[in-house]
Amino acid sequence: MNKSQLTAIIKEEAYRLGFTHCGISKADFLEEDARYFEQWLSKGMQGKMSYMERNIDKRLDPRKLVEGAQSVISLLYNYYPSEKQNSDSPKISKYAYGRDYHLVIKEKLFALFNFIREKAGHVSGRVFTDSAPVLDRAWAKKSGLGWIGKNANLINPRAGSFFFIAELILDMQLDTDAPIKDYCGSCTRCMDACPTEAIVQPFVVDGSKCISYFTIELRDSIPVSFKNKFNNWMFGCDICQDVCPWNRFSKPIDTDELKPYKEILSMTSGEWQEITEDVFKEIFKESPLSRAGFDGIKRNLQFLKPQSD
């Protein structure tokens, strides 16, 4: 089996496993992204996400993660839900409606990796889904799966931006895909809509001002200066994606693997306020909400209360 035939059957298997898009790029140093990333860090836009400052060499060069790496396979997995939350409920990012995506996608990545080994013989590599120092959006862009929008999200012209990104880094050579052009044009809807002004200029998001950062990553108290700016977002934020015109092409998922928890969709604000730690841990033990933890969710709920309370 030649390189092109192997590339074709890898993509076919990726689609069979449920990935909506698959692109391949050469494993090499991300020179352009290195300059941007270093500038972003130097301005403190990572906030207190100190992990962003570690393993920078591995983030920029996949050969530091996999010895002899030659190819990066980038994959997209749709999470756009068909259902919506109760209107009387603090808002949760759509990606967190159901089971933790790490658990779902990792299983599929290993299945694809094993398939490649069966077809190609001995292959060394690693799988990644937002769980190691990999610049996933940069690799997806390089692999032709979309462009980086002004909100710093990857945007696909046929699917929008409500998807997870995953990678396989392999020590084998495959046919590569070409990047596509940027179609944001003069649109600034994401910038205009951000209530905390986290998108400080086109394509640059100050992570330390993002609602998702405050409600998920930050372990300290949320700065009082951001009071009444969260638009009722309790965990994460979808504002810059919800207003993006390209997300009119988003299609609801047709699988039960990321089926929303009924509690996410139906719980009212009052029920969230009254939830106990034991109930929270039981319901959301395999949910992305466990990242913030019970104490973090309670802190967020308290912060969302009106000043007069």
Write out the catalytic residue numbers.
130
User: Do 201 and 99 form a contact (C-beta atoms < 8 A)?
Assistant: no
Strand partners for 23:
74
Per DSSP bridges, beta strands 147-148 and 154-155 are: antiparallel
Q: Is the dihedral of CA 5, 10, 11, 16 positive or negative?
A: positive
SS3 90: coil
Enclosing H/E stretch for 139: helix 136-142
CA dist 277 and 293 (Å) reads 9
List C-alpha distances in Å: 279 to 236, 254, 276. 21, 29, 5
Q: Which residue has the tokens 């810059």?
A: 240
- Residue 269 is which amino acid? S
Residue 278 buriedness (CB in 10 A; 0-12 / 13-18 / 19+): exposed
Two structure tokens written together for 146:
């979309």
Per DSSP bridges, beta strands 199-201 and 204-205 are: antiparallel
